Amino acid sequence: MKINSSILTIIKGLFIGIANIIPGVSGGTMAVSVGAYDELIGAVNHVRKDWRKSAKTLAPYVIGAGIGIGLLSFVIEGAMATYPLATACLFLGLILGGVPTLWNKAKSYKVSWPEVLSFIIMAGTIVFMTFTKTSDGVSGPFSLDPISLFLLFVVGIIAAATMVIPGVSGSLVLILLGYYNRILETLSSFIRGVLSLNLQSTLDNFLPLLPFGIGVLLGIGLVAKLIEWLFERFPSITYAGIIGLVAASPVAIFHEISLASVTPLMILAAAIALAIGFYISMKLGEK
């Protein structure tokens, strides 16, 4: 039974990892949808109090996320380029499948103006970010001077903070900052270097990823503390805000999907992908 539970947790981590590298898709939303968000926030916040328990909780999620980011990123990128509608619907299904679980947690709270305002502000933020996004056409290797490395550290903090918040796409924020393409290229080159045992390529690409990774860890820790505090002090308003973020996430996912040459077969494939994603997320959220 423990093995089965660990495998399910790794699968949840895998979906969270994949979501974090797809522009418009939120890793935080995916964590909410698969029923992992509260557990992850709690584990991160209690690392210093009980690091063994936190490490045991986080390990399968980290393994799954690592697989999703490191290996399946190539598959997902190809799927988004070749089958954009079906892939987008798969992610939409994964997000919508977690809505019943989220609603069951939130429905016991009274809805008043603060909750409505929280919902509107959070949903509006996602829509605004989506339609003001500019293309990240910057590519090429990073400079390794101290200022560039410090900026990578700061960008890591910002990206991680947005990755933790449901509905906000960390990848979309990296695009807004002009770092998405280069970080993805550097990560891909690093993975290829490791797989091909090319020590020089591995080292060259690891150096810029190191300050970014440290920034990511720091950002996750800081925002996790804030989220836990909000749930303790303002649970109904926080849940309303998260539901607003989740409700607006389809806008970000489908914003750049072209429907000009959609065929009936593509619509059928998209519907099947939506149903599969919904079912997987719903089942994972029950565990």
CA atoms within 13 A on the CB side of 135: 3
Mean confidence (pLDDT) of the chain: 80
CB atoms within 10 A of CB 75: 11
0.95 surpassed by pTM: no
Task: Give dist(CA 231, CA 223) in Å, integer.
Answer: 12
- Asked whether the predicted pLDDT for residue 1 surpasses 50, the reply is no
pLDDT digits (tens, 9 = 90+) for 127-166: 887 776 555 545 556 777 888 888 889 888 887 776 777 7
Domain boundaries, position 50: 2-286
Please answer whether residues 94 and 31 qualify as being in contact, where contact means their C-beta atoms are separated by less than 8 angstroms.
no
- DSSP-derived secondary structure letter, 43: H
Tens-place pLDDT, residues 206-232: 888 899 989 988 888 888 888 878 878
Structurally, the chain folds into a number of domains equal to 1
Residue reference for tokens 């998405």: 180
Dig out the tokens for 102 from the structure.
């989220």
Give the pLDDT mean for 40-50.
Answer: 84
Show the tokens assigned to 31. Answer: 């964590």
